[in-house]
Structures are given as structure tokens and as C-alpha cells.
Structure 1
Amino acid sequence: MSEIDINAGESDWTKENLQKLFTALKSAIPKCKTESVYTKGLKRVDWNKVAFPPFSPEACQKKWTEILSKMRKIRTLTEIIDEAEEKLSSTVSVHMMHPEFQKKPAPASAIFYKENWAKFQKRHPELSYGKLLKFVANKYRELPDEEKAQYVEKSKHASKEYTRQKVILKPPKRKRKVSADAPDEDEQRTKDAKSLPPKPPFNGYQLFCKEQLLSMAGVSNSRYVSVWAQRWRDLTESQRNEYSARCIELKRKYANELNEYLMTLDEEEQQRILNDNGIKRPKVQKHPKEVKLLTTLPGEPKMPPRSSNVLFCKNQMEVLKEEFPNANERFIKANQMWRGLSIKEKQFYKQQLVEQFKKYSLELQKWFKMLTAAEQADYLRKNPSKFQFLDAQKTKKNKREESFLSQPSDSEDEVIEISSSEEEEDSLGSSEEEEEEEEEGDIAFDLY
């Protein structure tokens, strides 16, 4: 936060008041969000708890927003508050680099630039800095692998030395304790995490990706998602359904084990563990229903998305492909655009969805008539929810479609059909923390 005057603004915001604000804000962050990106932590802050006389919750939030606008934000909320406190107490940065600490090692291409820059500059004095930079970059890319190897080796050696120095020179982390007898919060949290059952994947696709990790030898980390997406598309429908069924069973088992563990604790301890780990108490079915997975028969029309939000995002992700090549960034942008629409604009997409279901209903009726009596009976037995689209009289009234659109999806078809176009299986509909998870496009289980 260099070159920033955080005391600028209202005269009431003295240095002491700002320190109170930082302290109150830090204590208001839920423990499960202390290491999350700042946007997530900020959403969970209760400003009524942060406020202190003579400042209202709104005034505290406004002041923090002003401070935040002048700071770099690619850090956790806890780190940002720490930096603000440090700036308040001293104009000199406390994060001084150790005098013996080396600079972060350069990649192989940068080593090539450094060693050959003067030579190319002498040969081509007519080129500007930018053009010469591109010229040298192209020269490096054109090098055969055996010539590149020497620069790669130098980069690896520098990285090893950098890592070794980092371990030697890094100061030990200091932890605050109220007293010698006070429990360590980090140790307590680790102990809780070990006692909790492992969280299951969100859907069948994520279970598939998790199991694919062991077979990714030779594939670069940046290509994992696209490779998983292609492998998922190569599966048959019955194989995908098998993963979905296994995922549902894992969720049921997780719910039972979590509740069994919580029942061994008192009510206050249960609530503390749920809050600290950011989890909700799962509902356990005493007699779980048989898992029914929808199957699509040859020639069966494809059902439209079940909500106007999904319809809008699906369309926008196609439009934004060039501007946002990354599927997760594209999904986040599409959702932001949806939230920015007016009620009238959202109503337009709702009407579009109604029209799509009208068309789907007519196509389904036409296809259904081509089946034999036995096939029709079997189809209705396996897909009872489709009956509402096969009743021609009710379709004309356009009532059942609208009521259906208001119901939540009870299958994973929607996620798969929207996201199987590229590496987007983990983008639409696969978040467990509602809108929050949209800001982090990564898969919801630990990859490493």
C-alpha cells in the first residue's frame, strides 16, 4: 500500500479510530474465511459487529471501501487488513527483503534474453525496444530443443538455489497466544478437520476428475481440465450415470458420518465446528430413496435449461469465447452480466425459456408417438416428470411448462449438457457455495 494516505477523508477518522476499525474488521471475519480471497471474506463480514461509536455500520463500511480502493487486492482479506495496520503505524515497510536473499529465478527464456540481448541489439539498431523484444522471443522459440536445454538447465539450477535460500533465510512465523494455557486456534482447527469425514465431490463429473488425477502423467497442469472434459465426453451415458450414482451414495455416507460425529459433541461445540469449517448440517434420510438417473433415448429431443439464468449464461459463454478463453473466467463474467440485468431484461429471457419449452413439448410429443406401446410405457415409467410435456391439451394452456420452470433441477443433466462443450464441466452449476464460488473457478476439491 505504498504512496497511500489512508488518513485522508473525514476528520473524525483519526489514527486511533482507524486502528479500531481494522481490529474490529479482522475479528469479524469468519474463521473459515480467513485464508479465502478478500471478496469472499468481505461478503461474510457483519458490519453491525464492526461498528463502534460514533460510527455507524454504513460509515465503517464506506471508510473501508475507500481504503480498499487504493490497495492492491490479490490477497486474502486478513493480509490486506495487516498491510493497512502496518501503513498506519509506520511509513517504512516492515516487509524488508533479507540482504542475502536472491531474486526470484528467471525462466529459461529470460536467461536467453539476458545473455543475447546486447548481441541482437547491436545487429538490429533500427528496431524499437518492443519490436526487438518480440524478435528475441521468436528467436528463442525457434531454437532446437538441444540448444534450449542449456537455458532450461540454468533455470532449474537457479530455482533449486532460490528454494534452498528461501528455507534458510525465511524467519519463523510468530503466533500470538493469550496465555501459556490458551489453546492454539490453528491446532484446534487442524484437530477438528482430522475428525471430520472427507467432503464428497459435488457431482459425478468432479468424482470422475478426482479419480483421473492418477492417470495424468505427462500432461501439463494447465491442460488437466481440457483433458478431463474430453475424457468425460468420451464416456457413454451409462458410464456417466454410474459416476453420478456413486457421487450420490458418497454424499449420503458423508451426511451420516458427519451427523454421527456431531452427535458426540454438545450443541455449542457442534455449532463452533460447523462455523469454523464453513459447512452446513446435512439432512439425513432414514430411508433413502432409490437413485433414479434420467436416460436419453435415440432421437429424443433435448430438454432446454430449467432456468432463465442458465439460458442466459449458456448463450453468453458462447459470445465471450474470444474475449475470455478461460472457461471459468467466462462463466464468472456471464454471471456478473446476469446480475446486472434489469427485471425487464430478465423477464425477456424467462419468456424465451417458456417459448423453448413449448417447442420442446411439441417435439417430444412427435417423437413419443413414434415409439411402440411398450417403449412408451417404459419411457413414462422411467421419466414420470416428462408426462406433463406429453399432454397436448395441457401444453396448449402453457401452464405446466411455467410451473416446471419454477421447480429446482433434480438431476445433473443440466450441468452436463451446458458444460460439456469444452473444459466447462466445472463451471456451470458445480459450485457448492452459491454465488461465492463463482469468483474462484477451480474445481471444488483439493487437487494437490
Structure 2
Amino acid sequence: MTESEMDVAESAKAWTTANLLKLVGRIRSNTPESEKTTNYQSGLLSVNWDKTAFPPYSAKECHDKWQKVMKKMRKVRSLPDLIAEAEEVVSKPLLHRRTHPDFPKYPCSARIDYMKKNFSRLKKKHPRLTMTEIVVKALKKYNELPDEKKDEYEKRHALERAKYWRKFDNFCKNNNLHCTRRARKAKLAAIEGLPVKPPRGGLSLFIKEHAAEKPSLGLDFFSDMKKRWRKLDATEKHEYYTRCLKMRHEYNAKLKEYLDRFDETEKQLFIKEQEIRFMKAKPLSVQRMSPREPKMPSQTLLTYFARDKMMSLARSKKRWHKLSVKEKERYKEQMHSNMEQYSENLQKWFEKLTPEEQTKYLKQKPSKLRFLDGKNKQVYDREELHLSQPSDSEDEEIIEISSEEDIWSSYEVMLMVLPVENNKYTQNNCWIFLNESVCSYESVIKY
């Protein structure tokens, strides 16, 4: 690229007044409604800079230019600005609930409570000290207190905090205000010593660890993380699952230790007020096999038909009987193809297990042995084709059955090839194909 072409490109990227106004407008339109009343730093994080950007500027260039614009703006509001906001606050008090006369006041922390109670005593004892020096001295004395004394102040603070959130919830209900999820998180986070709840699953842990990588994605961050999660193999996903399980056990242990500081009455009251729950966690000794077992596809033809036509099973069942044999065969081939692929995936997964895990798996699920046998990949249908229409082949062999005894003998032959689980016949409907017609025997044999 020549120097003249570079100059033209730079001049095209120069920020004009029209482009700056366009940038401001796009930032306004790409800011979520829920973030428009929050503070500047929180609101800026929710802006999707990829959607805000416009040619010839990239998302990073738009973000950097906005930071430069903010440096030129004053950070302290003038008196006319405050007067204008005061008029709105006075005229609409419920929209600014912290100015409402009935809005509860958040209790001070345990150390501040100690400082308030001992401030006058320290002031008399040290009259020459300034206010700041007395505060520092009081906080230093609090840090030197034994753990038993600190627990008393923290227990009193926990009870006051529970009263505050009870008043806060009542205030929201009485004034038809929505108690946001963020307020509940802040309520739990403000409790000193209460352990932080870990992510609910492997995906949540994966998103939390990669949250700082792509801040420019804004609200599209979660969809991008889900796509990256799907690309991980089973071993990597299992690693996140195991770590998350350990974090749950650690959280439950810390929560139990925290609650044991209260007596039984206070403990039950605290749990009820804060809506605290122990997290469900399997024992660490009973962990999921690594990597995760492949999921078996459906063995019912009706399921494939309903999924293909995107309709409920009840509606698809009525239309299923109207299909030709050729169309039903297509779904049968699809089912066999999926089952063969499942058999291959299961064999690959089974080979990665340790000998102990393989033995345990075969004891728990002996029916899966037929899918692990590479030579015998026969797939049994749970629902045979309803061949109620004439066959297209003229050379097809027709079996003539003339007596009831022949029918029962044919039925016994068919039972020999049906899958048997736990030595019990579980087939409720067995279709026997006789001279282009179908006979249904329901619940013929039950052991």
C-alpha cells in the first residue's frame, strides 16, 4: 500500500462530529434497559461493542474512543444538575426507593458497631486524639479481641441483617417493587463468614473461569461460551464436573461450620430468613465414570417419525399407520444406522475405562454387552414395522398357517429371538406376520 493510499485510509477512519454522535446513539441503543439505571462501570460492561461498532471502525476502536471522550467530561455534577434530579426524586419517591421514608437502613458491620459503642469511652480517655485517630484505635482494639468476643458481635450483626432484609422484602411487597435477584445475591454476599455458593455445574464453572477473556462480547458472551463448551470432549467436561463436585462438598462443609455457631433456634431462623440450602452432591467415592457414557438413541420408530415431522407422539401415531411400508423402512434404516454408531461409540468409550470400571459396568448393565460385541451388532426393534399393506415383491415367500396350533408354535419361535432381560418376558405386543395380515397377541406370556 502506497503512502497516499495509507493517508486516504487514515482520513476515512478519522472521527468526525457526525461519527461521534453516531457512536453515542449506538451505545444508547445497545445498552440493556435493566442496566440503564445502574452505575457507569456496571452499565458499560453490559454494552455489546461488537454490535455497537460500525464501519470503518472496529469494536476495539469504538471502545477506546469512548474512553477518550469520557476523559474530557467532568465527573462531578453541578448544582443545577442536582436540583433537576432532586425535583424528580421528590415528585416520584417510589422510583428512588432509597429516599423513601419507609426504606429500611442497612445495619453497620460488627467492627463499626464495636467502634460506635466504645467511641465515647476512647474519646474521654484520649482527649487529644483526632476523630480519625480514635477510629483507627478503636478498629485496632477490635482486631485484638478474642474470637469469642468477635463471635458475639458478628452474631448480633447477623440477626440485625436478617431483620433488615425482612423489612426490605416487606417494603418491596407493600410498594409493588420487584426484589431483584441481584439484591438477593448482595444480601448473601454481605454476610461475613458465609461461604460463597459454587457454580451449579460444569458449564457454569467453565463460564466463570473464562468470563474475563472476551469482555467485548457483552450479552453474547454466554452463547459463545456454550458453543465452546459443546466442542470440548468428554474427558475435559468430566474434569470440570469433578472439580465442581469437590467445590460443592467444600461449600457444604463450610456452611455447616458457619451454622454451628448459632444455637438450634437461631440456626433455623437464620436458614429460613436467608433461604439457605445445602447443595446436592454425590459422595466423592461414587463419581461418574470418566469419560461420560454415550447416550443410547431411541429404539422406537415412532420417535424418529415424530421428530422428523416435528409433531407430538399422539398426532404422529395417527399418521404413522397411514404410511407405506417403504416410508417406514426409511425410518427403520435410520434407527439401525444410529444404533450402529452408538455401538461403535460405546466400544470406544468402554476401552478407555480401567479393568475395574469395565467389570463394574458389565455387572450393572449386562444388557449393554450385545452393543460391545463387535462381531454381533444385531439391533432389536422395540416396535416392529406394521406391515399391513401388500408386499411389492412377487417372489416373497408366504408362510401359510392353517391351525391355531401352528400359530402358537410360530409365536414361540418368535419369542426365542426377542431380547430377554432378567429372565422375564417383557414383550406386551408381539406382531406375527401371516399372509399379508397382522395378528396382535397382547400379554400372552407373563412370568
The bucket for the TM-score relative to the shorter chain is 0.3 to 0.5
TM (normalized to structure 1)? 0.35
Alignment TM-score, normalising by the size of structure 2: 0.36
